[in-house]
């Protein structure tokens, strides 16, 4: 019998490992179930989750939600993350338990952030299985989620589905507020049509709409919207340096300048012929504002060689 | 009634003489405008030479050469096996042939007159010549809006405004060169057709619409503007038989004609872009039918029934179109079109569109640079159009609204905004000049002279009176009796007239100076030949042509050249060698393949290169000279596009440093340093500096010494200023070794033996 015992223990070793593995897996499943499908990680559970013998995959969300970190994108991104993780918790347990969603908060895990070389947040790393049937050849390096596709849940779910055993059944929630607002305005518009109709038939209402739109559009409003430019720089300056860029404040100023200059010409055509004072007033305004505009342009385009009185 | 004049006018001239003189003055003015329009586009030829510019024009030029030398049918059936190697490209069916056909016709006419003009010169000078025609078309269009003097102003504006010159300098041989003329002339014909209800003008609109469809993909703008105008007029209750005749003749003939262009084919009945025109066509038929019935039937109930049935049919028609779109019979909006509405769309789904610099949104300085003082006269002109609001003014208003939005979203669409800004600004400025040149002064004996006197005596006009006047003007829009009353009043003194006219002339002068400056400095660079201003004068940097001619003269005719797609047309046009991808970005996967090869390490890229028979790889490198439009700066787009197809193998974050910076110095990530693009760009670069620091002058970073090494490629050619670098792809090692190992062996490094050497067997 003595001879057999080492053999037996040898035989028992894989089983023990399996048991340890099994218990780690069970623990992770339990942790995930406790918190709506997202494991809240600390240093030990992080090592557990990313153990080199894992036969599961995991998506780990490195974030800094603490108020004093002032991470705007983190807070903006978190709901998407929670929604996708919640969608994943709806799949049958056979598939669900082989991929985990986990969050690592910076405040409590400086060391792990440092270890993984994460210097900004939010970051998502996808760990592929290192063992088992879904074993990946490149399990050593986690794959970063590409945040350039935006902070929305939809692209997140699509891209993370590449790492889960079955695609994440995420459906964007119906935006009831949006539909409600649309419905409300449609209904109130239909009901009040009798009163609104004369306004709609008035050409000057349309003139104001048209002129306002073209003023705003030709002042670079779409640029600030598409590029997400702020109203002004953090240090308070409101003119962006460079010809191909601008801040939101510039749109307002330029649109006002254009509007006033336009109004000046209209006054000269329509009103000033009848009033000498208005004539001098608007002629002066047009000249001065045009000089202001040119000098403003000179700030944006330093090589511009011309100027008026300013 | 006697009217006093502010300045004396000759009274003994007959009205015919005045009319004839005015007509002569107009013709002379117009000749000057044409001259100025053509001349200001010749900066590029004078500063450099008669050369085709940029990228797309090189393809157009190459196609035109085929057309001129082989005839129209050969051109029509042209299959180009050298583009998109190994796929090839059916050129006849994938281009808008209008531009080439125009040059071909001019070429043949000149040659039949025994004027042996080189086809290149026709191509180079086509855009300036058409700009004179554009000025004329704008004159005709504006004349319909106001009068001849506004027309002349508009023609002068469009002749020299940088927003249009930017796409039409000599050598810029692109579709836009003729398209803006066609756009304005089609719009003019449409206004004529709509005003006169003439089937002849409607047909002409259709024919010029066909020309436009054959010339530029932007024809969709006309396809949607005209229906929008017709719809707005119908909704305003201004439906007339003239509108019906004009629209129906345009739509029927224009659509059938446009379907003859192979590239367009059945799109006018199968895609959403064209459904608006079809829908309005149907609507007008119903409305016309109802109008007809209404004339003949008096019963009120029946009329109400008709009214309801129109709405029901309209809704049903819309539902049918929606249903067909849903079923897939009508293609939904194409990505390019859709990205105009949903501005985040392109970035997310079609990075290849988002990567093009002319598809970026427009910041305000670009508007001012391209349109100068027209940009603030433009809203004033729109308001004046609202004041009168004839049917054709509705067109200007819609055009202004739509085009200013589009120009804000995409820099490139500044081009479609420019004509309407010129028209509208001309209307405004001409109104100013009319008001202050008109010699009539208020008559003292007139009824409301007392009121005028009171206004003058109480000099500081209270704001209330201004408001009063404004409301007067606003409400007077529709009542002509009141307006004549105001028109009789005029400006009194010569001093006020002088101030305004001098001010306007000053602005015009400033405009001319501005346009000349912008054109000569910003818009006249061919980008094939660069110029650099040094203390010792102007240096011409001709690296591109140097390299392309090297390829042409030193490589076999069928040597395949791989480069990023930007340079595909230039290589085909100047070097005459097959390319993998070019500026006709129709196959995203093929472009992503090139992107993958460029962003992968050598050993991964090599099989891709060999599988595509690539003999040479060409990269653009600006680090030595400080040329910022080089491939390292475009590299992230290659990575992104490749990532779109192979998300597992190529990942953008790996090309950044851990801090998230895009660097090329010793801190660059290993993926970056091992990528083929990085290696080809900086290969042997540090050697140039001896022992000194190898400074990249675009990125301002120091390249580590020793620089990257290459095992699978050989440096074949580097141009004078290192802008173009060409590498030859090595063939497989003749001994069947891995090229890396073979290279190491050649350098005398011992390979680690992994298995014992095979002993020679002794012969038995």
Determine the straight-line distance between the first and last CA of chain A, rounded to whole angstroms.
105
The residues that bridge with B729 in the sheet, in sequence order, are B713
- On whether residue B441 sits in a domain, the answer given is no
pLDDT of residue B659: 77
pLDDT, one tens digit per residue, over B232-241 is: 999 888 899 9
Cβ <8 Å between B365 and A162: no
Cβ <8 Å between A210 and B401: yes
Same domain, B169 and B315: yes
Band of pLDDT at residue B459, cut at 50, 70 and 90: very low
A197 at B interface, C-beta within 8 A:
no
The residues that bridge with B713 in the sheet, in sequence order, are B729
pLDDT of residue B358: 74
Band of pLDDT at residue B216, cut at 50, 70 and 90: very high
Residue range B530-548: average pLDDT? 84
pLDDT, one tens digit per residue, over B646-659 is: 888 888 888 888 77
Q: How far is A125 from chain B (nearest CA, A)?
A: 12
**Statement: residue B462 has pLDDT above 50:** no
pLDDT of residue B443: 54
Same domain, B255 and B309: yes
B:342-401 residues touching chain A, CB 8 A cutoff: 343-344, 348, 360-369, 373, 375-380, 382-384, 386, 389, 397, 400-401
Q: Which residue of A has its CA nearest to B370?
A: A218
The answer to whether B98 touches B178, Cβ cutoff 8 Å, is yes
The residue of B349, B350, B365 whose CB has the most chain A CBs within 10 angstroms, and thus the best one to mutate to test that interface, is B365
Same domain, B362 and B328: yes
Q: List the one residue out of B143, B97, B138 whose CA is nearest residue B264.
A: B97
Q: List chain B residues with CB under 8 Å of A290.
A: 373, 507
Same domain, B422 and B464: no
- CA A40 vs CA A35, A61, A68, A86, A165: distances in Å: 8, 10, 20, 14, 22
pLDDT of residue B599: 92
Higher per-residue confidence, B351 vs A290: A290
Q: Which residue of A has its CA nearest to B388?
A: A203
Band of pLDDT at residue A115, cut at 50, 70 and 90: confident
Structure tokens at B188: 């003019």
The residues that bridge with B560 in the sheet, in sequence order, are B614
Helix (H) or strand (E) holding A124: strand A123-127
pLDDT of residue A129: 83
pLDDT-above-90 percentage for chain A: 15
Cβ <8 Å between A227 and B361: yes
A57 at B interface, C-beta within 8 A:
no
Q: Give the phi and the psi of residue B135 in degrees, each rounded to 5.
A: -60, -40
Give me the DSSP letters along B341-366: HSTTHHHHH-HHHHTSGGGSPPPHHH
Cβ <8 Å between B486 and A274: yes
**Statement: residue B446 has pLDDT above 50:** no
Band of pLDDT at residue B308, cut at 50, 70 and 90: confident
Structure tokens at B526: 């061919």
Band of pLDDT at residue B449, cut at 50, 70 and 90: very low
**Statement: residue B490 has pLDDT above 60:** no
Same domain, B466 and B390: no
Q: Which residue of B has its CA nearest to A308?
A: B510
Q: How far is A137 from chain B (nearest CA, A)?
A: 12
Higher per-residue confidence, B659 vs B639: B639
Determine the straight-line distance between the first and last CA of chain B, rounded to whole angstroms.
136
Give the 3-state secondary structure of B145-161. Answer: HCCHHHHHHHHHHHHHC
**Statement: residue B569 has pLDDT above 50:** yes
**Statement: residue B478 has pLDDT above 50:** no
Rounded to an integer, what distance in angstroms lies between the CA atom of residue B678 and that of residue B699? Answer: 13
Structure tokens at B494: 């010569």
pLDDT of residue B267: 87
- Measured in whole angstroms, the distance separating CA B183 from the mean position of its chain's CA atoms is 12
The residues that bridge with A39 in the sheet, in sequence order, are A102
Tell me the pLDDT of chain B averaged across its residues.
Answer: 85
Q: How far is B463 from chain A (nearest CA, A)?
A: 10
Q: List chain A residues with CB under 8 Å of B449.
A: none
- CA B582 vs CA A288, B78, B91, B588, B716: distances in Å: 50, 17, 13, 11, 22
Q: List chain A residues with CB under 8 Å of B466.
A: 271, 275, 278
Rounded to an integer, what distance in angstroms lies between the CA atom of residue B396 and that of residue B145? Answer: 8
A82 at B interface, C-beta within 8 A:
no
Preceding omega of B283 cis (within 30 degrees of 0): no
Cβ <8 Å between A274 and B452: yes
Give me the DSSP letters along B657-721: -TTS----STTS-HHHHHBHHHHHHHTTTGGGGTTS-EEETTTTEEEPSS----SSEEEEEE-TT
Of A158-172, B125-139, B157-171, B281-295, where does mean pLDDT reach its minimum? A158-172
A:113-132 residues touching chain B, CB 8 A cutoff: 117, 119-120
Task: Nearest by CB to B405, from A217, A227, A254: name it.
Answer: A217
Cβ <8 Å between A148 and B409: no
pLDDT of residue B47: 84
pLDDT-above-90 percentage for chain B: 47
In sequence order, the 6+-apart residues with CB closer than 8 A to the CB of B396 are: B145, B381, B382, B385, B420, B423, B424
pLDDT, one tens digit per residue, over A41-94 is: 888 888 888 888 888 888 888 888 877 777 777 888 888 888 888 888 888 878
B:462-521 residues touching chain A, CB 8 A cutoff: 465-466, 469-470, 473-474, 477, 486, 489-493, 496, 499-500, 503, 507, 510, 513-514, 517, 521
A:140-179 residues touching chain B, CB 8 A cutoff: 143-144, 146, 148-150, 155, 159, 162
Structure tokens at A63: 């974030």
Rounded to an integer, what distance in angstroms lies between the CA atom of residue B138 and that of residue B132? Answer: 10
Q: List chain B residues with CB under 8 Å of A305.
A: 517
Q: List the one residue out of B581, B629, B640, B574 whose CA is nearest residue B608.
A: B581
- On whether residue B437 sits in a domain, the answer given is no
**Statement: residue B246 has pLDDT above 90:** yes
- On whether residue B755 sits in a domain, the answer given is no
Which of A195-204, B102-111, B436-445 has maximum average pLDDT? B102-111
Cβ <8 Å between B469 and A143: no
Threshold 0.90, pTM exceeds: no
Cβ <8 Å between A306 and B379: no
Task: Nearest by CB to A306, from B429, B514, B654: name it.
Answer: B514
Beta-carbon pairs below 8 A across chains A and B: 198
**Statement: residue B682 has pLDDT above 80:** yes
The answer to whether B247 touches B413, Cβ cutoff 8 Å, is no
**Statement: residue B666 has pLDDT above 90:** no
Cβ <8 Å between A155 and B373: no
Q: Name the residue ranges covered by the structural domains of chain A.
A: 4-160, 218-300
Structure tokens at B653: 């974050």
- CA B415 vs CA A219, A308, B144, B166, B211: distances in Å: 16, 28, 22, 9, 19
**Statement: residue B457 has pLDDT above 60:** no
Number of domains in chain B: 3
Q: Which residue of A has its CA nearest to B513?
A: A306
Rounded to an integer, what distance in angstroms lies between the CA atom of residue B583 and that of residue B203? Answer: 35
pLDDT of residue B427: 95
Task: Nearest by CB to B653, from A144, A218, A259: name it.
Answer: A144
Same domain, B459 and B359: no
Same domain, B98 and B194: yes
Q: Which numeric CATH code is attached to A4-160?
A: 3.40.30.10
Q: List chain A residues with CB under 8 Å of B659.
A: 119
Give me the DSSP letters along A193-221: HHHHHHHHH-HHHHHHHHHHHHHHHTTTH
Band of pLDDT at residue B473, cut at 50, 70 and 90: low
**Statement: residue B470 has pLDDT above 90:** no
Q: What is the DSSP letter of B392?
A: H
Q: What is the DSSP letter of B5?
A: B
Q: List chain A residues with CB under 8 Å of B671.
A: none
Rounded to an integer, what distance in angstroms lies between the CA atom of residue A92 and that of residue B293? Answer: 66
pLDDT of residue B521: 86
pLDDT of residue B500: 85
Structural domain range at position B706: 542-746
pLDDT of residue B441: 67
Structure tokens at B501: 């006219």
Q: What is the DSSP letter of B447?
A: T
Higher per-residue confidence, B209 vs B630: B209
pLDDT, one tens digit per residue, over B219-232 is: 999 999 999 999 99
Complex-level ipTM beyond the 0.90 threshold: no
Q: Which residue of B has its CA nearest to A229?
A: B363
pLDDT of residue B585: 78
B424 at A interface, C-beta within 8 A:
no
Of A3-12, B93-102, B370-379, B487-496, where does mean pLDDT reach its minimum? A3-12
Cβ <8 Å between B405 and A213: yes
Same domain, B142 and B197: yes
pLDDT, one tens digit per residue, over A261-282 is: 999 999 888 876 667 777 888 8
pLDDT of residue A60: 87
Angle at B753 between CA B748 and CA B757, to 5 degrees: 105
Q: Give the phi and the psi of residue A136 in degrees, each rounded to 5.
A: -110, 145
**Statement: residue A6 has pLDDT above 70:** no
B150 at A interface, C-beta within 8 A:
no
pLDDT of residue B352: 64
Cβ <8 Å between B499 and A283: yes
H helices present in B113-240, as ranges: 119-145, 148-160, 162-165, 176-196, 199-215, 220-235
pLDDT of residue B480: 41
**Statement: residue A255 has pLDDT above 90:** yes
- On whether residue B6 sits in a domain, the answer given is no
**Statement: residue B528 has pLDDT above 60:** yes
The residue of B235, B360, B363, B647 whose CB has the most chain A CBs within 10 angstroms, and thus the best one to mutate to test that interface, is B363
Residue range B510-537: average pLDDT? 86
Task: Nearest by CB to A265, from B377, B491, B640: name it.
Answer: B377
Q: How far is A60 from chain B (nearest CA, A)?
A: 16
Cβ <8 Å between B461 and A204: no
């Amino acid at each position: 019998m003595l001879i057999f015992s080492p053999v037996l223990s040898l035989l028992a070793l894989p089983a023990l490992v399996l048991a340890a593995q099994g218990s780690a897996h069970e623990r992770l499943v339990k942790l995930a179930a406790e918190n709506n499908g997202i494991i809240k990680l600390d240093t030990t559970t992080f090592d557990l989750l990313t153990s080199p013998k894992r036969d599961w995959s995991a998506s780990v969300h490195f974030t800094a939600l603490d108020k004093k970190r002032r991470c705007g994108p983190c807070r903006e991104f978190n709901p998407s993350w929670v929604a996708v993780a919640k969608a994943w918790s709806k799949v049958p347990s056979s598939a669900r338990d082989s991929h985990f969603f986990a969050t690592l908060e910076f405040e409590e895990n400086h060391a792990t952030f440092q270890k993984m070389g994460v210097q900004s947040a939010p970051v998502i790393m996808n760990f592929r299985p290192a063992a088992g049937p879904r074993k990946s050849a490149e399990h050593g390096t986690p794959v970063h989620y590409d945040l350039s596709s935006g902070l929305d849940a939809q692209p997140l779910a699509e891209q993370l589905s590449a790492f889960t055993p079955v695609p994440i059944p995420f459906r964007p929630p119906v935006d009831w507020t949006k539909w409600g607002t649309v419905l409300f305005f449609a209904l109130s518009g239909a009901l009040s049509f009798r009163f609104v109709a004369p306004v709609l038939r008035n050409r000057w209402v349309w003139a104001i709409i048209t002129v306002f739109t073209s003023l705003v559009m030709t002042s670079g409003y779409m640029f600030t919207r598409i590029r997400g430019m702020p109203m002004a720089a953090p240090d308070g300056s409101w003119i962006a340096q460079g010809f191909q860029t601008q801040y939101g404040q510039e749109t307002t100023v330029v649109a006002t300048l254009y509007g006033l200059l336009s109004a000046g010409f209209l006054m000269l055509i329509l009103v000033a012929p009848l009033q000498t004072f208005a004539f001098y007033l608007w002629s002066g305004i047009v000249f001065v504002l045009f000089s202001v505009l040119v000098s403003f342009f000179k700030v944006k385009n330093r090589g511009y060689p011309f100027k008026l009185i300013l | 009634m006697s009217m006093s004049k502010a300045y004396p006018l000759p009274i003994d001239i007959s009205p015919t003489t005045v009319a004839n003189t005015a007509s002569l003055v107009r013709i002379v003015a117009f000749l000057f405008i044409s001259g100025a329009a053509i001349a200001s586009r010749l900066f590029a030829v004078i500063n450099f030479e008669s050369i085709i510019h940029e990228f797309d024009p090189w393809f157009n030029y190459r196609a035109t050469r085929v057309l001129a030398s082989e005839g129209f049918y050969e051109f029509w059936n042209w299959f180009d096996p050298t583009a998109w190697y190994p796929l090839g490209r059916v050129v006849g069916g994938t281009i808008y042939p209008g531009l080439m056909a125009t040059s071909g016709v001019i070429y043949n006419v000149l040659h039949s007159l025994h004027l042996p003009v080189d086809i290149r010169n026709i191509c180079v000078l086509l855009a300036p010549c058409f700009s004179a025609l554009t000025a004329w078309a704008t004159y005709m269009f504006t004349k319909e809006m106001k009068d001849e003097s506004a027309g002349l102003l508009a023609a002068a504006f469009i002749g020299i405004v940088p927003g249009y010159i930017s796409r039409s300098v000599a050598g810029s041989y692109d579709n836009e060169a003729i398209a803006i003329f066609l756009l304005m002339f089609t719009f003019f014909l449409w206004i004529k057709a709509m005003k006169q209800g003439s089937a002849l003008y409607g047909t002409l609109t259709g024919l010029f619409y066909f020309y436009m469809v054959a010339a530029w993909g932007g024809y969709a703008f006309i396809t949607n503007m005209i229906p929008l105008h017709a719809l707005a007029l119908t909704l305003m209750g201004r439906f007339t038989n003239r509108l019906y005749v004009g629209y129906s003749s345009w739509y029927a003939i224009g659509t059938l004609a446009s379907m003859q262009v192979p590239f367009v084919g059945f799109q006018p009945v199968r895609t959403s872009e064209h459904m608006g025109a079809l829908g309005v066509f149907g609507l007008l038929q119903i409305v016309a039918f109802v109008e007809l019935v209404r004339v003949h039937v008096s019963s009120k109930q029946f009329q109400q029934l008709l009214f309801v049935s129109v709405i029901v049919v309209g809704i049903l028609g819309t539902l049918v179109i929606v249903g067909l779109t849903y079923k897939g019979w009508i293609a939904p909006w194409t990505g390019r079109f859709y990205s105009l509405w949903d501005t985040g769309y392109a970035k997310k789904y079609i990075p290849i569109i988002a990567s093009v610099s002319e598809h970026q949104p427009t910041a305000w300085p670009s508007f001012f640079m391209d349109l100068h003082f027209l940009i603030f006269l433009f809203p004033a002109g729109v308001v004046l159009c609202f004041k009168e609001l004839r049917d054709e003014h509705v067109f200007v208003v819609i055009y202004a609204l739509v085009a200013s939005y589009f120009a804000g979203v995409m820099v490139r669409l500044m081009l479609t905004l420019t004509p309407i800004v010129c028209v509208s600004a001309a209307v405004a400025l001409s109104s100013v000049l009319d008001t202050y040149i008109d010699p009539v002064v208020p008559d003292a004996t007139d009824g409301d002279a007392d009121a005028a006197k009171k206004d003058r005596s109480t000099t500081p006009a209270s704001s209330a009176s201004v408001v009063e006047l404004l409301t007067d003007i606003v409400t007077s829009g529709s009542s002509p009796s009141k307006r004549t009353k105001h028109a009789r009043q005029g400006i009194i003194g010569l001093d006020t007239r002088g101030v305004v006219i001098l001010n306007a002339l000053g602005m015009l002068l400033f405009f001319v100076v501005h346009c000349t400056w912008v054109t000569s400095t910003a818009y006249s660079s061919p980008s094939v030949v660069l110029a650099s201003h040094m203390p010792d004068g102007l240096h011409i940097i001709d690296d591109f042509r140097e390299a392309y001619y090297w390829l042409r003269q030193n490589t076999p005719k069928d040597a395949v050249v791989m480069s990023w797609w930007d340079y595909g047309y230039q290589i085909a046009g100047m070097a005459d060698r097959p390319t993998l991808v070019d500026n006709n970005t129709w196959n995203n996967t093929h472009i992503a393949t090139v992107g993958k090869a460029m962003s992968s390490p050598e050993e991964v890229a090599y099989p891709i290169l060999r599988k595509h028979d690539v003999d040479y790889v060409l990269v653009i490198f600006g680090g030595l000279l400080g040329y910022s439009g080089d491939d390292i700066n475009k590299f992230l787009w290659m990575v992104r596009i490749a990532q779109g197809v192979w998300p597992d193998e190529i990942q953008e974050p790996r090309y950044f440093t851990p801090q998230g910076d895009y660097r090329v110095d010793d801190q660059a990530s290993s993926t970056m340093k091992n990528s083929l693009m990085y290696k080809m760009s900086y290969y042997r670069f540090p050697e140039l500096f001896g022992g000194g620091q190898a400074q990249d002058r675009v990125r301002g970073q120091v390249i580590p010494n020793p620089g990257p090494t290459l095992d699978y490629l050989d440096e074949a050619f580097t141009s004078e200023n290192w802008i173009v670098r060409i590498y030859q792809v090595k063939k497989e090692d003749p001994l069947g070794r891995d090229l890396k190992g073979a290279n190491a062996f050649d350098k005398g490094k011992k390979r680690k033996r992994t298995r014992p050497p095979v002993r020679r067997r002794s012969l038995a």
